Structure 1
Amino acid sequence: MSIGHITRLDDLAADWLARLESPECTAAEREAFEDWLAASPRHVEAYLEAERLHALAAMLAGDGMLRAAAREAHGGRRPAVSARRRSRWPGWTAAAAAVLVLAIGAATWLRPTGPATVTGYATAVGEQREIVLEDGTRMLLDTDTRVTTRYDDDLRVVELISGRARFEVGPDPDRPFLVRAAAGTVRDIGTTFQVSRRGDEINVGLIEGIVLVSHGDDGPGRRLAPGEQVQVDPRGRFTPTRALDLEVAKGWPRGELVFRKRRLDDLLVEMNRYSELPLRLADPELAGITVSGVFRVDEQAALIDALEQGWGLRAEARADGIFLRAPRG
Structure 2
Amino acid sequence: MNIVAREHHETAADWLARLESPECTPAERAAFEDWLAASAQHVEAFLEAERLHAMAASLRADPALRAAVPVPVMRPRRPVRPASRRWPLALAASLVLALGVLGWMRLQPGPVATAEYATAVGETRQVVLEDGTRMTLDTGTVVATAFGRDTREVELVQGRVRFEVGEDPARPFRVQAAASTIRDIGTTFQVTRRGDDVDVGLVEGEVDVSRNDGAASVRLAPGERVRVDAQGRFSRVQALDLPMAEGWPRGELVFRDRRLEDLVLEMNRYSAKPLRLGDPSLAGLSVSGVFRANAQGELVAALQEGWGLGAEDEGDAIVLRAAPR
Q: CA deviation at 1:182?
A: 0.5
Describe the superposition over 1:127-172 as per-residue Cα deviations: whole angstroms up to 9, x where unpaired. 0001111111101100000011111222111100000000011111
2:144–2:155 contact (8 Å) kept in structure 1: yes
Map 1:33-182 to 2 at 5 A. Answer: 64=48, 114-182=110-178
Q: 1:221 — aligned with what?
A: 217
Partner residue in 2 for 1:201: 197
Q: 1:316 to 1:214 in 2, by over 3 A?
A: same
Q: Give 2:299's aligned residue.
A: 303
Letter of the 2:163 counterpart: F
Decide which structure has the larger Cα Rg and report it: 2
Aligned to 1:284: 280
Deviation at 1:115, TM superposition (A): 2.3
Alpha-carbon separation, structure 2, partners of 1:299 and 1:313: 17
SS of alignment partner, residue 251 of structure 1: helix
Output the amino acid matched with 1:327. Answer: A
Q: Is the 8 A contact 2:109 2:150 kept in 1?
A: no
Aligned to 2:231: 235
Q: Which of 309, 314, 328 in structure 1 is aligned with 2:310?
A: 314
Partner of 2:320: 324
2:143 maps to a residue whose letter is V
Distance 2:130 2:228 in 1: 29
Query: TM-score, with normalisation over the residues of structure 2?
Result: 0.68
Q: Distance in 2 between matches of 1:305 and 1:256?
A: 16
Question: How big is the shift at 1:297?
Answer: 0.5
One-letter code aligned to 2:319: F
Change in Cα spacing, 1:207 to 1:107, as seen in structure 2 (3 Å) is farther
Aligned-partner Cα distance in 1 for 2:258–2:244: 12
* Aligned-pair CA distance for 1:318: 1.8
Q: Deviations over 1:71-102 (max 9, x none)?
A: xxxxxxxxxxxxxxxxxxxxxxxxxxxxxxxx
CA gap of 1:169–1:325, structure 2 versus 1, over 3 A, is: same
Report which structure shows greater RCO (CA 8 Å, sep ≥6): 1
Question: 2: distance between equivalents of 1:105 and 1:64?
Answer: 20
Question: Any runs of at least 4 consecutive aligned residues in structure 1 with deviations exceeding 6 A, and if so which?
Answer: 103-108, 110-113
Superposed displacement of residue 219, structure 1:
3.2
**8 Å contact 2:226–2:234 — kept in the other structure?**
yes
Give the Cα separation in 1 of the matches to 2:310 and 2:212. 47
- 1:269 paired with 2:265, answer yes
1:32 is matched with none
5 Å matches for 1:235-254? 235-254=231-250
SS of the residue 2:256 aligns to: strand
Which amino acid counterpart does residue 114 of structure 2 have in structure 1? V
Query: 2 CA distance for matches of 1:290 and 1:108?
Result: 63
Q: Percent identity?
A: 59
CA positional deviation for 1:181: 0.2
1:254-298 CA-to-partner distances (Å, cap 9, x unmatched) read 101111111101000000000101111111111111101111102
Deviation string 1:279-326 (CA, Å, 9 cap, x unpaired) is 111111111111011111021111111110111111101211111111
Match for 1:293 among 277, 289, 310?
Answer: 289
Superimposed CA distance per residue, residues 30-82 of structure 1 (whole angstroms, 9 cap, x where no aligned partner): xxxxxxxxxxxxxxxxxxxxxxxxxxxxxx9xx859x9xxxxxxxxxxxxxxx
Structure 1 residue matching 2:283: 3-state secondary structure? helix
Amino acid at match of 1:157: E
Over 3 Å counting, the alpha-carbon distance change for 1:200 and 1:104 in structure 2 is: farther
TM-score normalised by length of structure 1: 0.67
**Root mean square deviation, CA, Å:** 2.8
Number of positions where the alignment pairs a residue of Structure 1 with one of Structure 2: 237
**How far did 1:108 drift?**
6.8
**How far apart are 1:109 and its partner, in Å?**
5.2
Counterparts of 1:185 and 1:233, CA distance in 2: 12
Q: In the superposition, relative to structure 1, how do residues 135 and 126 fare at CA in structure 2: closer, same or farther (>3 Å)?
A: same
